[in-house]
Amino acid sequence: MTREVRTLWRGPLAVPSTTLRRPVLVSETALVLLLSLGASAIYSILSIIRDLQSHVALNQQTSSLNSSQATQSWLDLTYQLVGVALGVVPALLAIHLLAREIPRAKRYLGIDATRWRSDLAWGAGMAALLGIPGLGLYVAARDLGFNTTVVAADLGSHWWVTPVLLLSAAQNAIVEEVVMIGYLYTRWTQAGWALPVVMVCSAVIRGSYHLYQGFGGFAGNIVMGLVLGTVYLRTRRVLPLIITHTILDSVAFVGYALLVNHVGWLQ
């Protein structure tokens, strides 16, 4: 049994029927978020409040990603790999919760390999569409004082830096797209929410857990969430979104690590 919700993109959005009542569905999504990206959103809101209280201009402050955790190379690598492994757990939890009611939940979410060529094409195309405008928005927001300077990678020059950054990009993509799109779109639609409400709420939460970067990161990720949500409604698959996000973060992380000492505006 499925429940159909009309959309403007590609006919009805069919979501599996559920015996769970609306309050249970909503509380379940709240708990999943508070254990993962929702908690990040709360900390990011506190972070931007703290930054705005500072006497230092926002664009003179830095936000660090992929930072070193230990002075010894082997221990730092262990920290990074454990962080990546534990970072995907919220996505696995979301899939587990859906799989209790939905047979072949991975296929339902569109994270299998049955359409990998079209998934790759969608992912690469969306990365190209979002990448350059996103970079321009970041530079403009920082220059206007609305964004911090983002240090996308600060792991030193170890042999394992590039592989770890690629793994970090994939981990970010998996957890964000599985939870924020595949899981929330399913659960909130099952709870009877209108699709525009689902899309906007998901996108605003996505923007909120990037607020630590400043208001440019907040606005840019809201737009990204709406665009990727629209692609999901068109393709009914999460894998293209994961590919898009992985490409964007890989270019940002690895590109920063390679170019920071050679390109002035990155510093």
Q: What is the mean pLDDT of the chain?
A: 92
Give, in order, the Cα–Cα distances in Å from 183 to each of 41, 90, 141.
17, 11, 31
Residue 180: how many other CB atoms lie within 10 Å: 26
Q: Which pLDDT does position 11 carry in this prediction?
A: 43
Q: pLDDT confidence of 262, banded at 50, 70, 90? A: low
Predicted structure pTM score: 0.92
pLDDT at 10 over 50: no
Q: Which pLDDT does position 17 carry in this prediction?
A: 84
pLDDT tens readout for residues 146-198: 999 999 999 999 999 999 999 999 999 999 999 999 999 999 999 999 999 99
Distance (Å, whole) CA 203 – CA 181? 9
Distance (Å, whole) CA 197 – CA 218? 18
Q: Which pLDDT does position 257 carry in this prediction?
A: 87
Name the more confident of 26 and 11: 26
Q: pLDDT confidence of 7, banded at 50, 70, 90? A: very low
What is the average pLDDT across 192-205?
A: 96
Q: How many CA atoms lie within 13 A of 212 on its CB side?
A: 17
pLDDT at 5 over 80: no
Distance (Å, whole) CA 202 – CA 200? 5
What is the average pLDDT across 27-48?
A: 97
For the chain, what are the domain ranges?
Answer: 2-266
Residue with tokens 């690629």: 166
Q: Which pLDDT does position 265 carry in this prediction?
A: 55
